Amino acid sequence: MSSQKVVLITGASSGNGQAIAQLLSQEGYKVFGTSRNPSSAQPIPNVVMLALDVRDDDSVAACVGAVTDQAGHLDVLVNNAGYELAGALEELSLDEAKAQFETNFFGIVRMVKAVLPLMRQQEGGQIINISSLAGLSPVPFVGIYSASKFAVEGYTEALRLEVQPLGIQVSQIEAGFLKTPMMTNRQVATERIGEYEPWRQRALEAIRSYEEKGPGSALVAETVLKVVANDRPRLRYVIGRQAKRISRLRRFLPEGMFEKGARSSFHLDAEG
Ligand SMILES: NC(=O)c1ccc[n+]([C@@H]2O[C@H](COP(=O)([O-])OP(=O)(O)OC[C@H]3O[C@@H](n4cnc5c(N)ncnc54)[C@H](OP(=O)(O)O)[C@@H]3O)[C@@H](O)[C@H]2O)c1
């Protein structure tokens, strides 16, 4: 068995996943990245791109199988694949809401179930879930995205407790708004309800401006590198000034004051 650490990164065709794959490969890790269309993904030097749709059990099994066939083992799984669905919660159809969870939450559940037998057998491994500040603090008008990341948070904390005795490390990364292609890849609810229109516009404009001013994917990649290199990684890595500030306020401010701040941040004050 080679001593080079083997890393599998889901959703490496764009944004954070692409930056993580690039950096880890430069740093000497054996990196497998994934895309639903690997042949059209931009090649990354020394990164093997595999096909993966995290919504599909067979695709997940084939992807993990391809890594073990080619590398013999798997040390690190980075669950990064995801997308953002915008719309007032009432505007979302149940199918749209379920689809968001199918990728952002059950995609992680599927990947974790596929790699754990291997990691248990190896008596070691590492799982890093790319959560979000939206999993610690609600974001209106992308509320279902936020809910999917809150679900990731609870799942990751419980998973860490369960698998740490088996020598498997689990961490999650919470970045605030970032300037990545997710802004343009965002999906939007099909239904529109007139009463939400001005509020949706205000909130989405605020989000867009935070994303425009936000850091890029390099910050996420540098953090993942630190976590992978750490023998005893923490549960949580909050990254970026905005995310650090908001997560601190969320913990220490009384609920009413925090909510007032959130309303103002997303321009949801009647007079705002
Ligand atoms: N951008 C932000 O502000 C921000 C902030 C905090 C956290 N995050 C998180 O960071 C992660 C990556 O986001 P990003 O900003 O880099 O977005 P992005 O540039 O749109 O990249 C999303 C990646 O996910 C993959 N993907 C989407 N659906 C998939 C599916 N069903 N199966 C497999 N792969 C799928 C895409 O690959 P293909 O289309 O090639 O399959 C793509 O590589 C997400 O989990 C996101 O929630 C983003």
Q: Is 19 in the pocket of ligand 1 (CB under 6 A)?
A: no
Q: Which neighbouring-strand residues pair with 8?
A: 32, 77
Cα–ligand 1 centroid distance for 159 (angstroms): 22
Cα–ligand 1 centroid distance for 55 (angstroms): 13
Q: Is 237 in the pocket of ligand 1 (CB under 6 A)?
A: no
Q: Is 137 in the pocket of ligand 1 (CB under 6 A)?
A: no
pLDDT band for position 1 (cuts 50, 70, 90): very low
All structural domains of the chain: 6-265 (3.40.50.720)
Cα–ligand 1 centroid distance for 34 (angstroms): 11
User: How does pLDDT run across 192-230, given as a tens digit for each residue?
Assistant: 999 999 999 999 999 999 999 999 999 999 999 999 999
Q: Is 36 in the pocket of ligand 1 (CB under 6 A)?
A: yes
The per-residue pLDDT for 3 is: 74
Q: Which neighbouring-strand residues pair with 169?
A: 126
The per-residue pLDDT for 251 is: 95
The strand pair at 125-130 and 76-79 is best described as parallel
Please enumerate in sequence order all residues whose Cβ is within 8 A of that of 157, keeping only pairs 6 or more positions apart, or say none: 235
Mean predicted confidence (pLDDT) in 30-58: 98
Q: Backbone phi, then psi, for 175, in 5-degree steps?
A: -100, 150
User: How does pLDDT run across 135-146, given as a tens digit for each residue?
Assistant: 999 999 999 999
User: How does pLDDT run across 169-198, given as a tens digit for each residue?
Assistant: 999 999 999 999 998 999 999 999 999 999
Asked if residue 2 has pLDDT above 90, the reply is no
Cα–ligand 1 centroid distance for 181 (angstroms): 8
Asked if residue 166 has pLDDT above 80, the reply is yes
The per-residue pLDDT for 272 is: 53
User: How does pLDDT run across 222-256, given as a tens digit for each residue?
Assistant: 999 999 999 999 999 999 999 999 999 999 999 99
Average pLDDT, the chain: 97
Q: Which residue has the tokens 């993990």?
A: 64
**47 three-state secondary structure:** strand
The per-residue pLDDT for 271 is: 62
Helix (H) or strand (E) holding 239: strand 236-239
User: How does pLDDT run across 86-106, given as a tens digit for each residue?
Assistant: 999 999 999 999 999 999 999
Helix, strand, coil percentages (3-state) for the chain, rounded to 5, are 55, 15, 30
pLDDT band for position 270 (cuts 50, 70, 90): confident
What residue owns the CA closest to ligand 1's atom 36? 11
User: How does pLDDT run across 52-88, given as a tens digit for each residue?
Assistant: 999 999 999 999 999 999 999 999 999 999 999 999 9
Amino acid (one-letter) located at 235: L
Q: Which neighbouring-strand residues pair with 25?
A: none
Separation between Cα atoms, residue 71 and residue 269, nearest integer Å: 54
Sequence-ordered strand ranges (E) for 17-114: 30-35, 47-51, 76-79, 85-86
Q: Which ligand 1 atom minimizes the distance to the CA of 102?
A: 31
| Contact present, 41 and 106 (Cβ < 8 Å) | no
- Count CB neighbours of 14 within 10 A: 19
Helix (H) or strand (E) holding 172: strand 168-175
Mean predicted confidence (pLDDT) in 12-33: 98
CA 268 → CA 98, 126, 198, 238, distances in Å? Answer: 26, 40, 9, 25
Q: Is 142 in the pocket of ligand 1 (CB under 6 A)?
A: no
Q: Is 121 in the pocket of ligand 1 (CB under 6 A)?
A: no
Cα–ligand 1 centroid distance for 80 (angstroms): 6
What residue owns the CA closest to ligand 1's atom 46? 82
What is the set of active-site residues?
Answer: 13, 131, 145, 149
